[in-house]
Structure 1
């Protein structure tokens, strides 16, 4: 069986889309190839790296990527995980299906490192639950 290709899009490809890519690859890597990109390129949020390690997922090889790197590729699903990405990228030419599900932005979390990590972990688990419901 050929794996279905999924691209997760967010504004900066720094948190939510990175989390979704790593989780889908880990949970359902036998069924899906997962990728992520953003409408702008920055860097992967360091709290996301830490939170994913806590979940047993290593994102150390990940980098922030622009959606133009994938614009000519074919995908079974293009998933926007923030409202800005949905608005900035209303059309993805080679997507069979589009899905939108917005999650809180970890880059806006404030407080102590422990509080920020707790917030990122909450978003990570919300994304995990949504992926299980949607792709499981």
Structure 2
């Protein structure tokens, strides 16, 4: 159980393709929720520029992400990563060969225009979904016992090993994007 806590203590990296919306929102939310003692980063496999609506939806809830910038995966401080959370839905997210625990939260890219949804509402929906997931992760983190040390590589795929650490299953299913 406390392997997740150790992973989070080592730092969280949010990944998506462009590092322009989902991962930037997640970084801002996680910094606000976890506080300054946990290293929070975001990066993308093909970084672009932060979408203007990303700033807008975060400002709506009082979180200023103006100091954040788009980063490539190779610019992330991998020595400070214990938990990697991929946020790609239909795109292919990069994989990182680290001793990290890896979760995948399937979230559509709000920057891709959907004729059935107002663009700002797509960003709000992404922000609100990420807020739910990060708050649940934080709640679980606070209830896990402390353990010193670093996360060691597992012979099993990261997504498979992570299932053993979240209880009840419903919470894990929600974090993995399997339930709403």
TM-score (norm 1): 0.85
Instruction: Assess if the C-alpha contact under 8 Å between 2:16 and 2:87 holds in 1.
Output: yes
Once superposed, what is the RMSD of the aligned Cα atoms?
A: 2.4
The alignment status of 1:98 with 2:98, answered yes or no, reads no
Give the 3 Å change call, closer, same or farther, for CA 72–28 of structure 1 in structure 2: closer
- Report the equivalent of 1:53: 59
Is there any run of 5+ residues in structure 2 with no aligned partner, and where?
1-7, 140-180
Greater Rg over alpha carbons, structure: 2
- What is the DSSP-based 3-state SS (H/G/I as helix, E as strand, rest coil) of the residue aligned with 1:36? strand
Q: Distance in 1 between matches of 2:36 and 2:69?
A: 23
Partner of residue 121, structure 2:
118
| 1:1-136 superposed matches below 5 A | 3-30=9-36, 32-70=38-76, 72-83=78-89, 87-90=92-95, 92-110=96-114, 115-136=118-139
**What TM-score, normalized by structure 2, do the two folds share?**
0.65
- Structure 1 residues 79-125: Cα deviation after superposition (integer angstroms, max 9, x where no partner): 1011466x4423x23342111101121111356xx931122111100
For the residues of structure 1 that align with 2:71 and 2:30, how far apart are their CA atoms?
18
Structure with more of its chain in strand, by fraction: 1
SS of the counterpart of 1:107? coil
Mapped to 1, the partners of 2:67 and 2:29 lie a distance apart of 14
Distance 2:97 2:90 in 1: 18
- Would you say the 8 A contact 1:4–1:31 is kept in 2? no
Question: Kindly tell me: are residues 94 and 104 of structure 1, through their superposed partners in 2, closer, same or farther at Cα, counting changes over 3 Å?
Answer: same
